[in-house]
Amino acid sequence: MIKALVFDFDGTIIDTESAWYAAFREAYEQHGVELSVKQYSQCIGTSLCNFNPYEYLMTDLSLPIDREEFRKAVQQRHSELMEAEEMRLGIKHYLDSAKAAGLKIGLATSSSTAWVEKYLKQLGLREYFDCIRTADHVKNVKPDPELYLQALDCLGVKPDEAIAIEDSPNGSKAALAAGMHCIISPNKITSLLDFDPSLYRVACFTDLDFDHLTTRLFETTQMS
């Protein structure tokens, strides 16, 4: 029986990820460097350990760029692009439906608490979440399962009683490693990446009825 939904944030609730890629790609182009989706994908849904787009031009390519000016320019461009972004379709319905059904609602994200809280307040969603776990709460972010395991413990549910709502390969890997059910709805950028073929995938959250998601989609798995 499903007792909880645990949402990813960036790219899932609102598509901050496509805006980040666009901002970095434009900044790289100004210095004559192409930033591919494949290269940038190393930091989507996880930390900047494998690829730090703020540092790469200076550290790996040795370009004479002022780090602070570069960072500010990218962040300013991201803010401009985000002005046109809205909550992804279907998310509000899932949240309202989960509340009405008495399900617990969690959020597990590799981003910082300050980043997430800012957007949740802007979107009017903060009150929906019974538990929030961010990069500030764990030693290892996604694809490590630590974020999801902490969220499950906080919500008081077993892994097979919860569904992770994700958009990225790193996020879905974390959810599966935690033993959870998982559905994915990639955004413009993550739709170009490779996912575990066993995952249930929808183009938009509105394509999957909430009642079907919580009572029938994983019925076979629950009974086995």
Catalytic residue among 8, 15, 144, 167: 8
Kindly give the residue spans of alpha helices, DSSP state H, lying in the chain. 16-29, 37-40, 56-59, 67-82, 91-100, 113-123, 146-155, 169-177, 210-215, 219-223
Please state, in angstroms and rounded to a whole number, the distance separating the CA atoms of residues 118 and 126.
9
H or E stretch at 45: none
Locate tokens 């413990």: which residue?
153
Indicate if 15 belongs to the active site. no
Q: 10, 15, 144, 167: which is the annotated catalytic residue?
A: 10
**Is 66 labeled as catalytic in the residue annotation?**
no
CA separation for the pair 168, 109 (Å, rounded): 11
One-character DSSP codes across 139-173:
SS-TTSTHHHHHHHHHHT--GGGEEEEE-SHHHHH
Sheet holding 162-166, edge to edge: 131-133, 104-108, 4-7, 162-166, 181-184, 200-201
Three-state SS for 54?
coil
d(CA 113, CA 210): 28
Residues with a known catalytic role: 8, 10
